Structure 1
Amino acid sequence: MSNIQEKIQEEIKEAREVCDINGKGSPECAAAWDAVEELQAEASHQKENEPQKTSLEQYCDANPDAAECRLYED
């Protein structure tokens, strides 16, 4: 996920440069910001598709030695 965040930051920087050169009302500026919005939407979709941990899994991550988190092998 950090890879897409880096790409978003790069696109934001590029969009600012394009807008400084061509003007904030230019079609090039609008297209540059559209690219940023599309990457942000993709990052949001990827985050939604990540499996969410249950409250027990979160508890066990924070307290691996708790009795509730013990794993027994046969």
Structure 2
Amino acid sequence: MSNIEEQIEKQRQEAREVCGEEGSDSQDCAVAWDTVEELQAEYSHQRSSKPKKTSLEQYCDENPDAAECRVYDD
């Protein structure tokens, strides 16, 4: 489990505790769940921001001497 996943789970537990003690209509409860949502959004952003290689890029990584992978400088 990554660090941000651990933070999300920890914040979820805290939000449940706050809402259980103060009620689900309290301001602190809303803030706690907003924090969970922000962490989840950041986690999602981190996962989607990793550039994915095309099949040609993967092929060229595995076969750098292939004709399709040659790069010519002008």
**TM-score, normalised to structure 1's length?**
0.71
Q: Which residue of 2 aligns with 1:63?
A: none
4+ runs deviating over 6 angstroms: none
2:41 maps to 1:41: yes
Q: Which has the larger radius of gyration?
A: 2
* Percent identity of paired positions between Structure 1 and Structure 2: 55
Matched residue pairs, number?
63
Structure 2, unpaired ranges of 5+: 66-74
Taking structure 2 as the reference length, what is the TM-score of the superposition? 0.71
Structure 1 distance, partners of 2:54, 2:2, is 23
Distance 1:40 1:7 in 2: 10
Unaligned 5+ segments in structure 1 are: 61-68
Determine the structure 2 residue equivalent to 1:65: none
Distance 1:7 1:15 in 2: 12
